Amino acid sequence: MDSDLDSGLFGIQLSDTEEPAEGSQPQNDETSAPADRTAQSEEEFQAVRKEYNVKVENGEVWKTIKLPLHPDRVSKPEAQALLHAVEELYFFRRFAEGARFVKVVLGGDGENGSENIAHGLDDDTRNLLRYYEKKCNEKVEYVR
């Protein structure tokens, strides 16, 4: 056998028995069994069903966003909510509202560096908001 092959690089040992990998937890029958689908009683299910409300997305996500944004740094979930709101307005063809929303979020026209609210937004989010503002404005002009 070649001495280069004994260097450990290809020194993989295969076995027929299944042994847990290093650092993994051994599986026993109790922990790996699937959850019982009948664990919830009918009464518990009816109680949950009674209090459950379906979340309807109808173009009003923008109303749930608290402005002004944090001046230093906008968290990723907040930035995603901003994008979701303008995307939703665009999807529902509420282009004028979408353009106004972005203008408010960016704190001005978004082009002249007059952004006083959006300092905490990352560049990608800011650019995507500007893109949606531009597309909304184009659609508003097209409709007129």
pLDDT of 114 above 50: no
Mean pLDDT of 43-50: 89
pTM exceeding 0.75 = no
Q: Could you give the 3-state DSSP secondary structure of residue 2?
A: coil
**Cα dihedral value 53, 54, 58, 61, nearest 10:** 60
CA angle 112, 113, 117 (to 5 degrees): 125
pLDDT band at 75 (very low <50, low <70, confident <90, very high): confident
Contact (CB, 8 A) for 72 and 80:
no
pLDDT at 131: 96
